[in-house]
């Protein structure tokens, strides 16, 4: 499950990066090198980025579920 989560995170992140470069070169460069710029771009352009953002959220959930400690018996 963790590998699937990481793959989904990668797909969503690359998709948002492509959308950022389509919007403008500086959005793309900023998203690539400054993590907060990517998040700001995603939130400002949510109409276009909601699908890759949702894919990233699912990826984060899958990765975090894998790190949840199991109860001791």
pLDDT tens per residue across span 18-33: 999 999 999 999 999 9
What is the reported pLDDT for 67? Answer: 82
Q: Which residues of 17-30 are buried (b: 16+ CB within 10 A; e: fewer)?
A: bebbeebeeebbeb
Report residues of the chain scoring pLDDT below 70. Answer: 73
User: What pTM, to 2 d.p., does this model score?
Assistant: 0.86
Query: Any residues with CB less than 8 A from the CB of 29 and at least 6 apart, and which?
Result: none
What is the reported pLDDT for 2? Answer: 86
What is the reported pLDDT for 32? Answer: 95
User: CA–CA separation, 43 vs 60, rounded Å?
Assistant: 17
What is the reported pLDDT for 69? Answer: 76
What is the reported pLDDT for 35? Answer: 84
């Amino acid at each position: 499950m963790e590998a699937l989560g990481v793959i989904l995170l990668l797909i969503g992140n690359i998709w948002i990066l492509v959308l950022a470069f389509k919007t403008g070169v500086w959005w793309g460069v900023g998203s690539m090198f400054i993590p907060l710029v990517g998040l700001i771009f995603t939130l400002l352009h949510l109409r276009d980025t909601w699908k890759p953002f949702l894919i990233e959220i699912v990826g984060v959930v899958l990765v975090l579920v894998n790190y949840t400690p199991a109860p001791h018996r």
